Amino acid sequence: MIPQEFVYVARAYNLLSEMDPRHLRKLVPLAEEKQFGAGQLVFAEGDRSNNLYLIVSGEVALEIPVAGDAVLIQKLQAGEAMGWSALTAEGRTHFQARAVTPVSAVAFPADRLRAAFDCDPEMGYALMKRLLELVTERLDATRMQVLNLHRQPEAARQA
């Protein structure tokens, strides 16, 4: 994908939608295309977070493994991002991400992304502000799932 096309396509991603086009053009050489088959783990909870992903197509389930089962936290689709912990130096994933359908994604390797931000702190700050919104969204989704799990046994007792 050539830089100008990426600038246009990036507007569809909430994470990148407000970034300056000159910053988006700097991200292009860092991008790698990734494919995941249905049912394949993109990453496991606690893995070293090696990539920030933008989902191009398909659906991904963010889950927390609990006692041999997976608790769904949120489903992600085209236009959404995952792997935000890749931007921290020793980042570990907080969820597992599993492809529900075949998934196509753009991956930004963590070390190259952090190096680019070190060279251009303005670009890094712009993306980090957007990432904080993403982290807040994931925290809210997790909180809602915990509340729902807590309410389910009560609903079962009343039935």
Q: Look at residue 60 in the predicted model and tell me its pLDDT.
A: 97
Phi-psi domain of 68 (left: phi exceeds 0; alpha: psi -120 through 50; beta: other): left
pLDDT, one tens digit per residue, over 57-114 is: 999 999 989 888 888 888 999 988 899 888 887 888 988 999 999 999 999 999 999 9
Domains in the chain: boundaries: 31-110+119-158
First to last CA, the chain: 55
**Confidence at residue 150, expressed as pLDDT on a 0 to 100 scale:** 66
Largest CA distance in the chain: 60
> What would the pLDDT profile of 17-31 be if each residue is shown by its tens digit?
778 888 888 888 898
Alpha-carbon gap, residue 125 to 144, rounded angstroms? 29
- Distance (Å, rounded) from C-alpha 116 to C-alpha 135? 21
* Topology of the domain covering 31-110+119-158: Jelly Rolls (2.60.120)
Q: Is residue 115 over pLDDT 70?
A: yes
Cross-strand bridge partners of residue 92:
48
